[in-house]
Structure 1
Amino acid sequence: MDTIAHIGRGHYAALATALAAAALLAGCGGSTPSSPGDEEGPEQVATGSGEYGTHLTADDGTSVYLWMGDHGSTSSCSGACAKAWPPVLTHGAPKAGKGVDAARLATVKRADGGTQVTYAGHPLYYFAGDGGAGDTNGEGSNGFGAKWWLVAPTGAAITEDAGSGSSMSPSMSPSMSPSDSSDGGGY
């Protein structure tokens, strides 16, 4: 009986060890990107066309936005803001794709340690409400205290409806701080 009990305990110990090893290996394995741009390597920024004309894209055609709440090239979007508007991150110098001026591409270090792509001095973001390439659901949203706009190849915010062709430079707009919003969300 002691032998059977000893073998039983041995199997439980082996099972527990195997489960612990499996959990450890699962934790060490590769992960899938949680948002566009999280992949390894330099991000490519290109242009796409749609309802609002020609605008910047990244991550194989996903629309990117600028936020009027940022001040210069420093991102003011973190926490809940960065969950709704994930920053365009890169590992290495970003690459200029079709229609993009390479001289306007740069990066900035985020407070969380990530490296965010900037264009014409403005940090770039995705919108969590866009389902994929070509979607522009974030255009004109007023979330976290300021407007979110698609970015023209010139680096200006695309601030008007399709067909009007109007855009404005981010530096020409009134500045709002993230705390100016009464609801904090608005997307």
Structure 2
Amino acid sequence: MATFTRISIPLAAAVLLGGTAAGTAGAGTTVSAPESVQSEQSKSGATADTVKVKKGKYGKILVDGKGRTLYLFKKDKKNKSNCHGGCASAWPPMTVDKKAQAGKGVKKSELSTTDRGNGKKQVTYHGHPLYRFAQDEKPGQTEGEGLNQFGAKWYVVDTKGKAVVHKPKHGGSPKPKDSHGGY
């Protein structure tokens, strides 16, 4: 009974405050990326659409305009993503409304977009579709480096558009993580 009460009071408040909007929210609810990733994807300002360079333990790597690490997926083909559904929830693609902006240290000629097949444009660099990792909760984190998920490995991207597959340049030696998630 207590569970019913906790659910019904907020629902009743939503109906009273939101009118019919609450009636449409429950039927199509899906699991999605964390709010920090969603807000970056939904903004059309240059900050969210910018690819920049940041120096860290893996050397100079690509990050988005908010400083979040960008990854490539070894299963992708040139300018074609092979990460959809659950994969795209765990590894949200960097998408833009129009085109990506090149920040300092990023070769504008290597920056482009590819159609994801759902009307969204995914940012590519040197032909690699770019992703964030949902478990990187703040700028500078590289928790996705070396993970084996959804049929291939994931790597941070260097300024030449290549996968960073070696040990960090500064500090300890992270152990590649092997996860069989997704299948």
Which TM-score band applies after superposition, normalised by the shorter structure?
A: 0.7 to 0.9
**1:4-153 alignment, distance < 5 Å:** 19-20=18-19, 23=22, 34=38, 36-42=40-46, 43-153=49-159
Give TM-score scaled by structure 1 length.
Answer: 0.71
Inter-partner Cα distance in structure 2 for 1:185 and 1:135: 22
- 1:117-148 CA deviation, whole Å, 9 max, x = no partner? 00001100000010111111111111101010
Q: Is the aligned partner of 1:183 residue 2:180?
A: yes
Inter-partner Cα distance in structure 2 for 1:96 and 1:146: 28
Q: List runs of 5+ in structure 1 lacking aligned partners.
A: 1-15, 27-31, 165-181
Shift of 1:163: 2.3
- 1:21-40 CA deviation, whole Å, 9 max, x = no partner? 6759x9xxxxx762643322
The 3 A distance-change label for structure 1 pair 102 and 20 is: same
Q: Percent identity between the aligned chains?
A: 41
Shift of 1:18: 7.2
Q: What is the root-mean-square deviation in Å for CA atoms of aligned residues?
A: 2.7
Give TM-score scaled by structure 2 length.
Answer: 0.72
Inter-partner Cα distance in structure 2 for 1:49 and 1:140: 18
Task: Answer yes or no: is the 8 Å Cα contact 2:54–2:61 preserved in 1.
Answer: yes
Shift of 1:184: 4.1
Inter-partner Cα distance in structure 2 for 1:95 and 1:108: 15
SS at match of 2:42: coil
Task: Answer yes or no: is the 8 Å Cα contact 1:56–1:152 preserved in 2.
Answer: yes
Aligned residues between the structures: 149
SS at match of 1:63: coil
